[in-house]
């Protein structure tokens, strides 16, 4: 597959400096002819708890699930899970996967009409059933959509336990409808399963959201792409973060791979481009020394698709070593932006208005300076931005819950350098 | 560089030849052998000593250090006819100087270029300039034409390769000399210098720097104060896409008696601004080493010992009004001096 990996960095370090930063842009033009290199399996998990009766949510969820099924390519395996206090397979027969065809899709759509809202919310059990179904097709591009409208009703710690056991088995995009669900809960799932999280405030928006997720999922052509990072002896990887299209810390997902190298899962790939921020601590060198601080490879199994070198060159020339790489600075700012927003929301919830104002002010400043218009607009629904350049904001007395949740879920969305949104 | 008899045909090496006079094969390194400067993959790392440490991309698989950069130290040894050395120095992270040395019967072409650090890819600029001018000098001793050719080639770099070159185009200085018997043509742009070193007395600077200090002194500034000014080394002319349309300055000399033509970048002359010091130091190294290449090596070592603040390049060509020995005029082998040898 035609992957490229390009590193952006200022390789020059002042004498004594040990921190090496680089942004690695990984781009793939997708598989040849847009064909998948492996099979694909899709599972749609729809919350069918009693609360879904409200605001016509269950009806909207039915329509959305039907629209998603329509988007599934012929030949792709799929299943639909109805989420109640237990996980119930709605389609096809329990324990089985259907192969997408006009016939199977219309059968699935008919079965969706049987979806009734009654019972509780048990996300751990739903995900576990999905993992079991995906387990029938190892090597497939495995993707799930999870829709919910409320808090998880399982005993504390159970969801985390499930996530630990199934992480990396499939990717899962999570959507919360209404405002009675917890952003932190769905974010936990999305982070563990390398997926996205977002709010669909109005049930009427569900169909578009499902279609969008399914079209994106159908565009994936490779199942399990990984970033392999080699570092020299006595060097440590401080962090590996995806920073575009959204911030996702991958540091903790490292799997050791031979001496001085580790793999970080990137999930499935299609024709797309993502940016990664890699920070490595190396032993300091002498003036003129050149060190390979990291060799970053895009790998799939044993195949190396692309490679990029992160270098460190020590110099006494401060004109060189003090130059700040634009990409590194930009994404450092975007990561701080996400943190500032989440800290601001937390402080506001805790009643600490002073901290909230400071955090939101910093966020407004960062969003403005980096041209992240989408985040700036979301911020403006929670605070009055008096002067974005200086970060002067005032907390709004009345904030719509949906606005705050949208800001929270989308706080990790980033923009590329110089790309206005 | 140790020059041996020709390994291919066992012919004895003619003095100064970089190529075998009998079979034409290069004498600098045996055919097919990898360059001596970069340990090939699988070699022990010169930094940490890990056996088999050097990876395919030249970095050690253990400590990550670059095993060697060929341009850090290059030597060109043409026996008793000419010698040149370029060295990274101690402070710079790479060698942005480059040189060209070619000897034919009684003819020597020599070029020294110094990349402008503030530009992007200055090492590419100096290499392009030196090789372009050197190749042009092989067909004509017109140094002005050779420098203008180099100027065009360097200017063209801005539009190729890395897009950052367009923003800060590659640039360099140049000093070139064509020695034809006792006739010397020199030309230059920037602050790389040519000196004439007579058997005794101070060296005579044949070039006049295109630099702020030189201009200030010409306008009447105190020479010592001007040289101490932070702007002293700011050059006022260079080769590059953004260079003003300046014609290279040139000079032509006929040698009476004997002496040495010395071309060097500011990495050396900075430590020897006084012409008497320059002459004394070069003579000392000529005497001490015995061979020209030893003298050139010694001068690079001198600059490194003095601090090695910049890249160092020095080329030495003995010139006399009565040629010592004229090898058979039948051979017209263009002996571009090959590069070689160990990092210090």
A349 pLDDT above the threshold of 70: yes
Question: Confidence class of residue B37 from pLDDT cuts 50, 70 and 90?
Answer: very low
| pLDDT of B335 | 37
Question: Helix axis angle, A57-70 relative to A206-218, nearest 10°?
Answer: 30
* 3-class SS of residue B251: strand
Nearest to A316 among B69, B91, B118 (CB): B91
Angle at the Cα of B45 from the Cα atoms of A310 and B309, rounded to 5 degrees = 70
Identify the residue whose tokens are 């210098």: B193
pLDDT tens digits along A52-80 = 988 889 999 999 999 999 999 999 999 99
A-to-B residue pairs, Cβ atoms closer than 8 angstroms:
61
Does A291 touch chain B if contact means CB atoms closer than 8 Å? yes
| pLDDT of A365 | 94
Q: What is the dihedral of CA A99, A103, A109, A114, to 10 degrees?
A: -90
Q: What residues 27-86 of chain B have any CB closer than 8 A to a CB of chain A?
A: 48, 57, 59-60, 62-66, 69
| pLDDT of A34 | 62
Contact B90 A288 (CB under 8 A): yes
pLDDT tens digits along B171-185 = 999 999 999 989 999
ipTM of the complex: 0.70
B336 pLDDT above the threshold of 80: no
Average of per-residue pLDDT across A125-152: 93
A206 pLDDT above the threshold of 60: yes
Does A287 touch chain B if contact means CB atoms closer than 8 Å? yes
Contact B64 A12 (CB under 8 A): no
Nearest residue in A to B120, CA atom: A320
**Could you tell me the CA-to-CA distances from A28 to A52, A272, A303, A329 in Å, in that order?**
39, 6, 15, 24
Paired tokens of B246? 């300046």
Q: What residues 23-52 of chain A have any CB closer than 8 A to a CB of chain B?
A: none
| pLDDT of A31 | 64
A189 pLDDT above the threshold of 80: yes
Q: Which residues on chain A are in Cβ contact (under 8 Å) with B63?
A: 232-234, 291
B344 pLDDT above the threshold of 60: no
Q: Are A293 and A233 in contact (CB under 8 A)?
A: no
Contact B93 A288 (CB under 8 A): yes
Nearest to B62 among A233, A289, A314 (CB): A233
| pLDDT of B233 | 80
Residues above pLDDT 70, as percent of chain B: 81
Q: What is the mean pLDDT of chain B?
A: 81
Q: Which residues on chain B are in Cβ contact (under 8 Å) with A233?
A: 48, 62-64
Q: What is the dihedral of CA B143, B146, B151, B154, to 10 degrees?
A: -130
Nearest residue in B to A260, CA atom: B62
Average of per-residue pLDDT across B7-24: 47
Q: Which residues on chain B are in Cβ contact (under 8 Å) with A291?
A: 59, 63-66
Residues above pLDDT 90, as percent of chain B: 46
A260 pLDDT above the threshold of 60: yes
Which of A292, A304, A312 is best to mutate for the B interface (most B CBs within 10 A)? A292
| pLDDT of A353 | 93
| Nearest-angstrom CA–CA distance, A372 and A414 | 7
Does A285 touch chain B if contact means CB atoms closer than 8 Å? yes
What residues have CB less than 8 Å from B86, skipping those under 6 apart? B71, B73, B74, B95, B97, B98, B99, B265, B300, B311, B312, B313, B314
Question: Confidence class of residue A222 from pLDDT cuts 50, 70 and 90?
Answer: confident
| pLDDT of A1 | 55
Does B332 touch chain A if contact means CB atoms closer than 8 Å? no
Paired tokens of A402? 């949906």
| pLDDT of A135 | 94
| pLDDT of A223 | 84
| pLDDT of B289 | 65
Contact A291 B117 (CB under 8 A): no
pLDDT tens digits along A227-256 = 999 999 889 999 999 998 989 999 999 999
Chain B closest CA to A31's CA: distance in Å? 28
Q: Which residues pair with A81 in a beta bridge?
A: A45, A89
Nearest partner of B315 among B144, B74, B128, B135, judged by Cα = B74
Q: What is the DSSP string of A40-109?
A: EEEEEEEE--GGGGGGGHHHHHHHHHHHHHHTSPTT-EEEEEEESSSEEEEESSTT--EEP-HHHHHHHH
B300 pLDDT above the threshold of 80: yes
DSSP assignment letter at B307:
T
| Nearest-angstrom CA–CA distance, B63 and B43 | 14
Average of per-residue pLDDT across B282-294: 88
Phi, psi of B297 (to 5 degrees): -60, -45
pLDDT tens digits along A78-94 = 999 999 888 899 989 99
Q: Which residues on chain B are in Cβ contact (under 8 Å) with A234?
A: 63
Phi, psi of A221 (to 5 degrees): -120, -15
| Nearest-angstrom CA–CA distance, B205 and B226 | 18
Paired tokens of B113? 């270029």
Q: What is the pTM of this model?
A: 0.71
Chain A closest CA to B247's CA: distance in Å? 31
| Nearest-angstrom CA–CA distance, B218 and B226 | 10
Nearest to A288 among B63, B64, B88 (CB): B88
What residues have CB less than 8 Å from B184, skipping those under 6 apart? B177, B178, B252, B253, B254, B255, B261, B319
Helix (H) or strand (E) holding A298: strand A290-300
pLDDT tens digits along B177-222 = 999 989 999 999 999 999 999 998 999 999 999 988 888 888 888 8
Question: Confidence class of residue B266 from pLDDT cuts 50, 70 and 90?
Answer: very high
Does A343 touch chain B if contact means CB atoms closer than 8 Å? no
Nearest partner of A40 among A164, A220, A187, judged by Cα = A220
Q: What is the DSSP string of A109-125?
A: HHHHTT----S---HHH
B17 pLDDT above the threshold of 70: no
Q: Which residues on chain B are in Cβ contact (under 8 Å) with A235?
A: 64
| pLDDT of A89 | 93
Q: Are strands A141-148 and B204-205 parallel, antiparallel or unpaired?
A: unpaired
| pLDDT of B203 | 93
| pLDDT of B35 | 36
Contact A290 B90 (CB under 8 A): no
Chain B closest CA to A290's CA: distance in Å? 6
Name which of A1-10, A134-143, A356-365, A384-393 the model is least confident about: A1-10
| pLDDT of B341 | 32
Nearest residue in B to A321, CA atom: B93
What residues have CB less than 8 Å from B115, skipping those under 6 apart? B96, B97, B98, B122, B123, B124, B125, B126, B170, B171, B172, B311
Contact B65 A12 (CB under 8 A): no
Contact A233 B93 (CB under 8 A): no
| Nearest-angstrom CA–CA distance, A64 and A206 | 6
Name which of B66-80, B108-122, B303-317 the model is least confident about: B66-80
Contact B91 A231 (CB under 8 A): no
| pLDDT of B100 | 94
Contact A316 B65 (CB under 8 A): no
Contact A232 B90 (CB under 8 A): no
| Nearest-angstrom CA–CA distance, A80 and A41 | 11
Average of per-residue pLDDT across B251-279: 92
Does A286 touch chain B if contact means CB atoms closer than 8 Å? no
B342 pLDDT above the threshold of 60: no
Contact A285 B57 (CB under 8 A): no
Q: What residues 114-173 of chain B have any CB closer than 8 A to a CB of chain A?
A: 117-118
Nearest residue in B to A291, CA atom: B65
| pLDDT of A125 | 94
A412 pLDDT above the threshold of 60: yes
């Amino acid at each position: 597959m035609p992957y490229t990996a390009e590193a952006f960095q200022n390789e020059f370090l002042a004498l004594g400096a040990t921190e090496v930063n680089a942004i690695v842009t990984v781009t793939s033009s997708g598989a040849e002819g847009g064909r998948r290199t492996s099979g694909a399996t899709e599972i749609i998990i729809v919350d069918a708890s009693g609360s879904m009766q409200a605001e016509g949510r269950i009806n909207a969820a039915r329509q959305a699930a039907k629209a998603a099924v329509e988007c599934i390519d012929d030949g792709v395996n799929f299943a639909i899970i109805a989420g109640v206090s237990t996980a119930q397979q709605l389609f096809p027969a329990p324990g089985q996967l259907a192969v997408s065809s006009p016939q199977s899709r219309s059968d699935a759509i008919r079965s969706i009409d049987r979806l009734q809202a009654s019972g509780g919310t048990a996300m751990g059990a739903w995900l576990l059933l999905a993992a079991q179904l995906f387990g029938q097709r190892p090597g497939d591009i495995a993707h799930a959509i999870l829709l919910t409208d409320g808090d998880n009703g399982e005993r504390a710690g159970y969801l985390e336990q499930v996530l630990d056991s199934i992480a990396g088995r499939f990717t899962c995009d999570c959507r919360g409808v209404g405002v009675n669900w917890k952003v932190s809960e769905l974010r936990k799932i999305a982070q563990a399963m390398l997926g996205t999280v977002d709010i669909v405030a109005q049930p009427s928006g569900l169909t578009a959201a499902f279609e969008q997720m399914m079209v994106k999922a159908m565009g994936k052509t490779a199942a399990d792409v990984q970033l392999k990072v080699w570092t020299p002896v006595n060097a440590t990887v401080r962090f590996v973060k995806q920073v575009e299209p959204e911030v996702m810390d991958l540091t903790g997902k490292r799997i050791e791979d031979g001496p001085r190298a580790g793999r970080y899962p990137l999930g499935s790939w299609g024709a797309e481009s993502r940016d990664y921020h890699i920070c490595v601590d190396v032993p300091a060198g002498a003036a003129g020394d050149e060190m390979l601080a990291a060799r970053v490879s895009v790998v799939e199994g044993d195949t190396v698709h692309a490679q990029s070198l992160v270098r460190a060159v020590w110099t006494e020339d401060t004109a060189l070593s003090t130059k700040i790489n634009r990409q590194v600075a930009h994404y450092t700012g975007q990561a701080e932006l996400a943190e500032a927003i989440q800290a601001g929301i937390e402080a506001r919830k805790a009643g600490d208005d002073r901290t909230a104002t400071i955090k939101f002010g910093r966020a407004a400043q960062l969003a403005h300076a980096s041209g992240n218009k989408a985040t700036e607009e979301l911020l403006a629904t929670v605070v009055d931005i008096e002067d974005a350049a200086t970060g002067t904001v005032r907390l709004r007395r009345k904030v719509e819950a949906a606005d705050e949740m949208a800001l929270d879920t989308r706080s990790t969305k980033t923009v590329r350098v110089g790309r206005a949104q | 560089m140790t020059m041996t008899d020709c390994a291919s045909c066992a012919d004895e090496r003619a003095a100064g030849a970089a190529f075998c006079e009998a079979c034409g094969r290069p004498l600098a390194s045996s055919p097919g052998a990898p360059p001596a400067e970069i340990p090939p993959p699988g070699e022990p790392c010169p930094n940490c000593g890990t056996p088999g440490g050097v990876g395919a991309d030249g970095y050690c698989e253990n400590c990550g250090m670059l095993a060697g950069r060929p341009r850090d130290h290059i030597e060109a040894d043409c026996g008793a006819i000419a010698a040149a050395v370029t060295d990274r120095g101690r402070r710079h992270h790479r060698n942005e100087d480059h040189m060209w040395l070619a000897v034919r019967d009684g003819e020597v072409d020599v070029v020294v270029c110094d990349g402008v650090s503030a530009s992007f890819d200055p090492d590419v600029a100096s290499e392009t300039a030196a090789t372009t001018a050197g190749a042009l000098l092989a067909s004509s001793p017109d140094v002005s034409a050779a420098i203008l050719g180099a100027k065009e080639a360097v200017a063209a770099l801005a539009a190729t390769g890395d897009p950052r070159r367009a923003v800060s185009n590659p640039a360099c200085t140049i000093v070139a000399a064509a020695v034809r018997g006792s006739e010397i043509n020199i030309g230059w742009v920037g602050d790389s210098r040519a000196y004439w070193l007579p058997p005794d007395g101070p060296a005579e600077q044949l070039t006049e720097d295109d630099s702020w200090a030189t201009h200030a002194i010409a306008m009447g500034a105190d020479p010592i104060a001007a040289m101490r000014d932070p702007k002293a080394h700011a050059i006022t002319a260079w080769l590059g896409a953004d260079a003003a349309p300046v014609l290279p300055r040139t000079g032509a000399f006929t040698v009476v008696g004997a002496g040495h033509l010395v071309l060097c970048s500011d990495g050396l002359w900075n430590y020897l601004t006084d012409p008497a010091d320059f002459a004394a130091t070069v003579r000392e190294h000529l005497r001490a080493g015995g061979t020209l290449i030893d003298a050139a090596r010694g001068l690079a070592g001198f600059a490194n010992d003095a601090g090695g603040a910049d890249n160092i390049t020095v080329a030495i060509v003995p010139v006399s009004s009565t040629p010592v020995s004229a090898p058979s005029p039948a051979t017209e082998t263009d002996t571009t001096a090959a590069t070689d040898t160990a990092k210090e």
